[in-house]
Amino acid sequence: MRRLGPKERFLDGYAKVAGWRLAPEMVAYWDVFANLRWAVITLRQARRHLTGRERSLELASIGRRCAEVEWELLRLIRAA
Amino acid sequence: MQDRPTAVELIEAVRDFLAGEVAPALADRSLRYRMRIALHALGIVAREVPDEEARLRAEREALLTLLDLPRPAPPCDPRLLRAWVLEANRALCERIRDGAADAGPWRERVLAHVQQAVDEKLQGSNPDFH
């Protein structure tokens, strides 16, 4: 959501085009879900390297991006 | 005990060599990109190797308190420390999954503990994240 400008403006614009309004708690839920999904992806990519199935510096280093997603998840969960 | 340079000083020397002499000579865009990832990874190692045991001990202490575990004496064997913390983190995950941190004062303690752990991980993996 960060890059889409203020959340209210985005929700207003969405409602205008779609004809119905997104509930803020629904947005909060999917915000958490999307970050959790990305966290799982980082773990899976790191595992491809760690199991030796696909040795790759990029895959290995993505494993350490998980902490950034965890940080964002904590922020979202606390705000919810 | 090894002579100097220490392991970290060697890693820093390799990083300086790669960043200063090899990276500028790379013409291939994809190689340049992966060199940046490699330099970042060496930076992680240089930040995390010093004091790793002290950080694990601190996390162990925090987990003993949070999970209300009996404090065994003598302190954990350094070789078993990592495995102990991993196991205690699994136990914490189970309690969270069982709903123990859904509400109430323990929820706040868990959030504070996990925040501390995540901040510490970021200090190693990406100190400029915020």
- Listed by start position, the domains of chain A span 23-79
Mutate to test the interface with B, among A57, A64, A65, A73 (most CBs of B within 10 A): A64
Answer whether A22's CB lies under 8 Å from A42's CB.
no
**Count of pairs with CB atoms under 8 A, one residue in A, one in B:** 39
The rounded distance, in Å, linking the Cα atoms of B3 and B1 is 7
Question: Can you give the pTM of this predicted structure?
Answer: 0.89
The predicted-structure confidence for B29-38, as pLDDT tens digits, reads as follows 999 999 999 9
CA angle, B63 as apex, B61 and B64 as ends, to 5°? 65
Residue in A58, A68, A77 closest to B37 by CB: A58
Nearest to A69 by CA among A25, A28, A37: A37
Mean pLDDT computed over every residue of chain B: 94
Cα of A16 to nearest chain B Cα, Å: 34
Q: Is B87 helix (H, G, I), strand (E, B) or coil?
A: helix
Q: What integer pLDDT is reported at residue A65 of this predicted model?
A: 97
In the predicted structure, residue B45 carries a pLDDT above the cut 60: yes
* A50-80 residue pLDDT tens: 999 999 999 999 999 999 999 999 999 998 8
Section B26-31 average pLDDT: 97
Determine contact: B129 vs chain A, CB below 8 A. Answer: yes
Q: Nearest 10 degrees: CA dihedral of A62, A63, A64, A70?
A: 110
Distance, C-alpha B77 to centroid of its chain: 19
A60 touches chain B (CB under 8 A): yes
Contact call for residues A51 and A43 (beta carbons, < 8 A): no
Chain center to CA of B99? 27
Q: How far apart are CA B86 and CA A74, in angstroms?
A: 20
Output the pLDDT for position B114. Answer: 98
Indicate the residue type of B17.
Answer: F
ipTM for the assembly: 0.89
